Chain A
């Protein structure tokens, strides 16, 4: 009994350490975002005179140009919109093509389906840097540089294989008899897919949808490569522009950081039940 308690205590301590290791940098960013510049440089944890000034920087259309980092900050709302457009489209493409591909791989026996699956997996193992130049050249020759489409295509390239793998595993846990029952009840093959199969697999679909959205939202490398103006720059790229400002106001950057992670975190909280069920279901099922 005592051994059991000891084991549990040690386990919890380790879990807390791991959680702190991940959370502390974010926590610090959040706290700093409410501080005055002066306080932040003193490496203090709790703001003495909390302020929203840092956040307001991002939403003042005609900000005081003398303010440090103001030029970059003013681009934030538009950049968040760009990120949203890119992430949303990436998510939609992942769900639409991913579910169709995964359904075919999970349910139909056709020549080369294993080869296809391995190809998808293999494509994930290619480092982005290796195909950076070819991709850039392709985008340039099709006139896609500095458009949302370029970033969307790049992000889909990296998220779709993952989506297909996860969904295929998840789809295989759905009993075949469900669709057969639907067929006997009068559905065509597509009817059974839309009326029975997809509603049953909603948790898995939501999970991969959120995953693809968040991966696109946080991606920096290809976004930086393909975008050059505020008309296509996502928020990760704009955030990095702070580095080019003459002076960096720490607290403003922190507020920007909070704004960037806010949406994914809200999404994750809302759908956490589905994310855990979806991913867990796919792995254990």
Chain B
């Protein structure tokens, strides 16, 4: 068992609040991702869970034990660092064995465990090399082997893939997911890459400026973002935003009117609108939820600015009354630069946010 609980965690560096009253419970054997832009406090949170930094206030629990004042060497954790942090003066073998030696594991057992970990990470032919003789991908694998060899219950991973090239990153994502499934341990993963977080996590914690923005499954984060920040941060290309005014079209039927467009929509049956009529709102719509050349009546007519074919999809950069936005459409769309095309925001996929606070105007009925 290894449940990790963080309670009212706050960390200040001078006047800067890196983590602001963060409370979360990481379930045993869960893959939880801390997601956010740089400086959002995600690495600081991870370091506090590891015991490498002391919180200004708040507590950390492993299962039911309060470990807030327990030094890292006595917490049951393994960690992978963004820079890998391999010991440059030791061979790969000694790098992997170091943690076991520190914990006085018998020598023959160490030998066996190191060999097993190296085989699992497919680096058993590199054991006598020094870290500087390895490629980036190999170093990454050594760092992972060093983490898994100790059989800790909590794995902390601090942007472990960000120094790899794009192709290797995709491979390692799969590898990490497989590792998580095989090891059955609690993984806490830090990344600023929203795609990575969506692909790998059981649940995602979105942080911004040290504050918890939303905690949910990848689907929840993507489909029901709690505020405009999350909506704009998660998804690639990000969600499009338009200013508008909310009007009631009768019953469950609503309208948003803005410059050059009128969007009719009905909230999904599971969601309820919390705002009043004539509120100033931000309408959010993902690129894939914009129909170009729709069969039904269009929301607006927009001008094509850039056309980006991507093989499987066609991305269009469009302009509507001075607002540029993106739409994803079928690859054999014929529209060209300068064309005026009818578009339609899919009524069930529309997001609404408060113009001033950015909070969602939908309330989940759960």
Give A residues with C-beta under 8 Å from B: 175, 177-178, 180-189, 191, 196, 199-200, 202
Residue of B nearest to A186 (CB): B102
Query: Are B81's CB and A185's CB within 8 A?
Result: no
Query: Are A177's CB and B83's CB within 8 A?
Result: yes
Give B residues with C-beta under 8 Å from A: 47, 50-52, 71-73, 77-79, 81-89, 98-99, 102-103, 146, 150, 156
Q: In the bound complex, how far is the Cα of B71 from the Cα of A262, in angstroms? A: 50
User: How far does the Cβ of B142 sit from chain A's closest Cβ, in whole Å?
Assistant: 11
Query: Are B89's CB and A199's CB within 8 A?
Result: yes
The A/B interface has a contact count, at CB < 8 Å, of: 62
**A-B contact sample (13 more), CB < 8 A, given A181-B87, A185-B99, A187-B73:** A175-B83, A175-B85, A177-B81, A177-B84, A180-B85, A181-B81, A184-B50, A184-B52, A184-B73, A188-B71, A189-B71, A191-B73, A200-B88
User: How far does the Cβ of A198 sit from chain B's closest Cβ, in whole Å?
Assistant: 10
Query: Are A177's CB and B85's CB within 8 A?
Result: yes
User: How far does the Cβ of B141 sit from chain A's closest Cβ, in whole Å?
Assistant: 15
Contact among B72, B78, B87, B103 with A196 in the assembled complex (CB-CB below 8 Å):
B87
Query: Are B103's CB and A180's CB within 8 A?
Result: no
Supposing A177-B83, A180-B52 touch, asked if A188 and B73 sit within 8 A by C-beta, the answer is yes
19 contacts between A and B (CB under 8 A): A175-B83, A177-B83, A178-B87, A178-B88, A180-B50, A180-B79, A181-B79, A181-B81, A182-B87, A183-B73, A184-B73, A185-B102, A187-B102, A188-B73, A189-B71, A191-B73, A200-B87, A200-B89, A202-B89
Q: Which residues of B contact A180 (CB under 8 A)?
A: 47, 50, 52, 72, 79, 81, 85
Q: Which residues of B contact A200 (CB under 8 A)?
A: 87-89
Q: Which residues of A contact B87 (CB under 8 A)?
A: 178, 181-182, 196, 200
Q: Which residues of A contact B98 (CB under 8 A)?
A: 182, 185
User: How far does the Cβ of B321 sit from chain A's closest Cβ, in whole Å?
Assistant: 49
Residue of B nearest to A188 (CB): B73
Q: In the bound complex, how far is the Cα of B86 from the Cα of A188, in angstroms? A: 18
Q: Which residues of B contact A196 (CB under 8 A)?
A: 87
Q: In the bound complex, how far is the Cα of B89 from the Cα of A202, in angstroms? A: 10
Q: Which residues of A contact B85 (CB under 8 A)?
A: 175, 177-178, 180-181
Q: Which residues of A contact B82 (CB under 8 A)?
A: 177
Q: Which residues of B contact A191 (CB under 8 A)?
A: 73, 102
Q: Which residues of B contact A202 (CB under 8 A)?
A: 89
User: How far does the Cβ of B60 sit from chain A's closest Cβ, in whole Å?
Assistant: 15
Q: Which residues of A contact B156 (CB under 8 A)?
A: 184
Contact among A177, A178, A186 with B73 in the assembled complex (CB-CB below 8 Å):
A186
Q: In the bound complex, how far is the Cα of B88 from the Cα of A196, in angstroms? A: 9
Q: In the bound complex, how far is the Cα of B72 from the Cα of A177, in angstroms? A: 13
Q: Which residues of B contact A183 (CB under 8 A)?
A: 51-52, 71-73
Supposing A199-B89, A200-B88, A200-B89 touch, asked if A184 and B77 sit within 8 A by C-beta, the answer is yes
User: How far does the Cβ of B360 sit from chain A's closest Cβ, in whole Å?
Assistant: 38
Q: In the bound complex, how far is the Cα of B96 from the Cα of A185, in angstroms? A: 10
Q: In the bound complex, how far is the Cα of B84 from the Cα of A177, in angstroms? A: 8
Q: In the bound complex, how far is the Cα of B89 from the Cα of A238, in angstroms? A: 44
Q: In the bound complex, how far is the Cα of B64 from the Cα of A104, in angstroms? A: 35
Q: In the bound complex, how far is the Cα of B53 from the Cα of A183, in angstroms? A: 11
Q: In the bound complex, how far is the Cα of B77 from the Cα of A273, in angstroms? A: 39
User: How far does the Cβ of B344 sit from chain A's closest Cβ, in whole Å?
Assistant: 50
User: How far does the Cβ of B10 sit from chain A's closest Cβ, in whole Å?
Assistant: 18
User: How far does the Cβ of A199 sit from chain B's closest Cβ, in whole Å?
Assistant: 5
Q: Which residues of A contact B102 (CB under 8 A)?
A: 185-187, 191
Q: Which residues of B contact A188 (CB under 8 A)?
A: 71, 73
Contact among B72, B83, B86, B88 with A184 in the assembled complex (CB-CB below 8 Å):
B72
Query: Are B88's CB and A186's CB within 8 A?
Result: no
Residue of A nearest to B52 (CB): A180
Q: In the bound complex, how far is the Cα of B85 from the Cα of A134, in angstroms? A: 49
Query: Are A186's CB and B99's CB within 8 A?
Result: yes
